[in-house]
Amino acid sequence: MPAIEDHDYLKLCAQLASCLSISIAAARRKVEMQAAREGLRDLSSRKLIANNLLNQAKSDASSEGFNASSFDELLKALAEEENFMIED
């Protein structure tokens, strides 16, 4: 199946990928699989599905208190562990 080159569709998939921290190809596959489950083939329905998945991902992220700063805090090394080496 040839790639869909609609700018709005690709933008929605890119935003979905960013929100879910996955690749754009994986986000497009997720949208296409949802469209296949619902039996929809046209581009406008795929845009609608992508938009719905994006809104759902954003609401899930906000309800869980998910944000990048929490990951930054988890990745900081403690003062006593900063110079720890696993290998020589």
**How sure is the predictor about 74, in pLDDT bands with cuts at 50, 70 and 90?**
low
Structural domain contains residue 87: no
pTM of the model: 0.68
Q: In sequence order, what DSSP letters do the residues of 6-19 get, joined into one string?
A: -HHHHHHHHHHHHH
pLDDT of residue 76: 72
For residues 52-73, give the mean pLDDT. 75
Structural domain contains residue 52: yes
Asked if 35 and 1 touch (Cβ cutoff 8 Å), the reply is: no
pLDDT of residue 12: 94
Structural domain contains residue 31: yes
For residues 62-75, give the mean pLDDT. 64
Asked if 24 and 33 touch (Cβ cutoff 8 Å), the reply is: no
> pLDDT of 26-62, one tens digit each?
999 999 999 999 999 899 999 999 999 999 988 877 7
Q: How many domains does the chain have?
A: 1
Q: Which helix (H) or strand (E) holds 62?
A: helix 43-63
In the 8-state DSSP scheme, what is residue 83? T
Structural domain contains residue 88: no
